[in-house]
Amino acid sequence: MVTLTIDGIACSYGSIEVLKDISFTVKKGQFLGILGPNGSGKTTLLKSISRVLKPKKGAILIDDKEIYDMKTMDVAKRMAVVPQVTAVSFDFTALEVVLMGRNPHMARFKMEGKADIDIAKNSMQLTHTWEFADRPVTELSGGERQRVIIARALTQEPEILLLDEPTTHLDICNQLEIMDLIKSLSETKELLIVAVFHDFNLAARYCDSIILLKDGKIVAVGSSEETLTPENVKEVFNVDTLVKKHPITGSLHVIPVSWPRNQKPKIQAVHMICGGGTGSQVMKVLTDEGYVVTAGVLNLLDTDQETAKVLGVVTSKEAPFSPITEEAHKSNLKMIRKSHVLVITPTQFGEGNLQNLVAAQTAQKEGIPVILMEDGPLSERDFTGGKATEYITKLKENGAVTVASTAELLQVLEKYETKTEAQK
């Protein structure tokens, strides 16, 4: 089983140190992604691994062999590189370019034989490039040419594949096609793959593990869940983000947040008491505005619970058509206490969900502001014999604010933000 070990390397360009004490290990069949801002050392790291830039200190090992002690051809037989940009100025056909990958395996001045052509053909079939094998590579599109370069790398029959931003300058269709191909190679061919990315979400979707680099140092290494946290992304890229599970792929989805007028909300966490679809639009608007939203207690299969699932909103849940249990009530209170504001939408209240208003009263007593959204008489949605009305009346008496629309809700939230900032 091939293993690539990076052991405490440091790299410099003249007197400028670019990489500092970098260490990690990748094994056969693993797909490692490297993320970092411009100038963080990503490309330098790939250059060092591919023997273009020798480290000032440390070691790079394939299994137990230091690559800088190995012959160039021996390294080329085990490792292939797909650079960020590959300039091909001559009218070589796609097949001729792919056959260049056989050079490490051929004696000097030897021409390609049938076995070499068969290997090249197989690589081109894997990358869906055999159909234009006889076309000049200069006439191919960016995505087609990138697949040809990957086919050339595969024709080397490597155990390790290094890629420097493999989807640069490609449209979304070609990006996904190439990333699906690379992921397939790591799984079916058990290639050890190390790739540099700029796109958080491509890395999260396809990589088994991720390294975050900043100023030549590793800030975080591990799975996407361990590395792509809002705190880590903020530290490395100085960008605020929302990190959620994508509802379709199940992978992490990182959403950069751009705050209007360079003004970041002072209140960021909003908990919602909702249900029956009354919270769905509000939930969407608040998440779009950059708020961290939680909700509960919601019954499974409830419209608002389904919306929360799609948006990645964390909820306190209860079984369908079941009253709120003590366990769910405590879970809801825990979420409310982590929020800055509690919003209650104009949902119906029955004996089954009355505990949500008990939780709201507890939150208000503990100093959490309550905002009530109303769209008509409370009596029309109180099915508790007046108990819900009593709770909501007490919330109002103790300072709960009433709003009639989502737009008005956002205005009130801004006032809370301004008040909070003024109190600092």
Q: How do residues 88-97 score in pLDDT, each as one tens digit? A: 667 899 999 9
Q: Which of 32, 372, 29, 399 is nearest to 213 (CA)?
A: 32
Coil, helix or strand at residue 324: coil
Contact 49, 4 (CB under 8 A): yes
Backbone angles phi, psi at 122, to 5 degrees: -60, -40
- Rounded CA gap, 326 and 193, in Å? 49
Position 415 pLDDT exceeds 50:
yes
Question: Residue 88: its pLDDT value, please?
Answer: 67
pLDDT band at 25 (very low <50, low <70, confident <90, very high): very high
Instruction: Give the residue ranges of DSSP H helices in 338-383.
Output: 355-365
Mean pLDDT value across residues 130-159: 90
pLDDT digits (tens, 9 = 90+) for 38-65: 889 998 999 999 999 999 999 999 999 9
**Rounded-to-integer distance, Cα 216 and Cα 200, Å:** 19
**Dihedral pair phi/psi, residue 229, rounded to 5°:** -90, 155
Beta carbons of 377 and 349 less than 8 angstroms apart: no
- 193 Cβ partners below 8 Å, 6+ apart? 30, 31, 32, 160, 161, 162, 163, 182, 185, 186
**CA pseudo-torsion sign 104, 106, 108, 109:** negative
- Which of these ranges, 48-52, 81-85, 158-162, 296-300, has the smallest mean pLDDT? 81-85
Specify the pLDDT at position 109: 63
345, two tokens: 């939408």
| pLDDT tens digits for range 368-389 | 999 999 888 888 888 888 999 9
Which residue has better confidence, 166 or 31? 31
Q: Which amino acid is at 15?
A: S
Residues 195-242 have pLDDT tens digits of 999 888 899 999 999 999 999 999 999 999 999 998 899 899 888 787
Task: Identify the band that residue 112 occupies on the pLDDT scale cut at 50, 70 and 90.
Answer: confident
Q: How many residues does the chain have?
A: 424
d(CA 133, CA 95): 5
Q: Which residues contact 339 (CB under 8 A, 6 or more apart)?
A: 269, 270, 271, 294, 368
CA distance 92 to 420: 66
Give the separation between CA 8 and CA 395, rounded to whole angstroms.
60
DSSP labels, 245-277? E-TTT-SEEEEE---GGG---S--EEEEE--TT
**Amino acid letter at 269?**
A
- Report all structural domains of the chain as residue ranges with CATH numbers, in order of start: 3-249 (3.40.50.300), 260-423 (3.40.50.450)
Q: Which residue has the higher pLDDT, 127 or 262?
A: 127
Q: What mean pLDDT comes out for the span 289-294?
A: 87
User: For position 147, what pLDDT does the model report?
Assistant: 87
At residue 267 the predicted structure's pLDDT band, cuts being 50, 70 and 90, is low
